[in-house]
Amino acid sequence: MAADEQGTPQNTSRDTQQGMTVAAFDAFCVEHLPFVAIYNFVTETLCTEGARVRLPADGRHLRPGGTICGPAQMALADFTLYAAILGRIGEVPLAVTTNLTTNFLRRPLPGDLIAEARLMKLGRRLAVGEIFIYSDGQDAPVSHVTGTYSIPPKDEATN
């Protein structure tokens, strides 16, 4: 829909933006996202399709039943989707979550959790993705999350 100077009409301007590398995203988080220090997230992969982030095991995230609490899973999912978006379109700090829906499927093991986010839509104003969370090394997901981010226009975002 947006103009594209390269003449590829099906591309929106989002597609021609430069995404962030893991190193750049890590530096960005240290500077701008203090809550990341609570969770010690490790961003393992950022690519065009999505992102993969690890939540290291930590006794503070446990809950009755010897499992990992829901808030730690939701924080991981929200962060992984944010990583996926910035890994695709570059540094847009003011991208904000508008909706996050989590279905908790199975009791996680009390070890590391892995989240894999994949963008289902990247529009001019809204990005929608889904995130699966796994206990490290397991096949069956412990939770499934869908999230929507509102993306400010590029000229606002770079101010």
Residues that bind its own copies (CB under 8 A): 32-35, 37-38, 59-65, 69-72, 74-75, 78-79, 93-94, 96-107, 120-121, 125-126, 128, 130, 141, 144, 146, 148, 150
Least separation in angstroms between residue 22's CB and its own copies is 19
When the beta carbons of 46 and 122 are compared against its own copies, the nearer one is 122
**C-alpha span between 58 and 89 (Å, rounded):** 32
Classify each residue of 26-65 as buried b or exposed e, where b means 16 or more C-beta atoms within 10 Å of its C-beta: bebbeeeeeebeebebebeebeeebbbbbbeeeeebeeee
Q: What is the DSSP letter of 100?
A: E
Give least dist CB 123 to its own copies, A: 9
Q: How far is the CB of 136 from its own copies (least distance, A)?
A: 19
Coil, helix or strand at residue 1:
coil
- The nearest distance, CB 72 to its own copies, in angstroms, is 7
Nearer to its own copies, 46 or 55 (CB): 55
To 10 degrees, the CA torsion angle through 135, 137, 141, 147? 70
Longest dimension (CA), the chain: 57
* Nearest approach, Cβ of residue 36 and its own copies (Å): 9
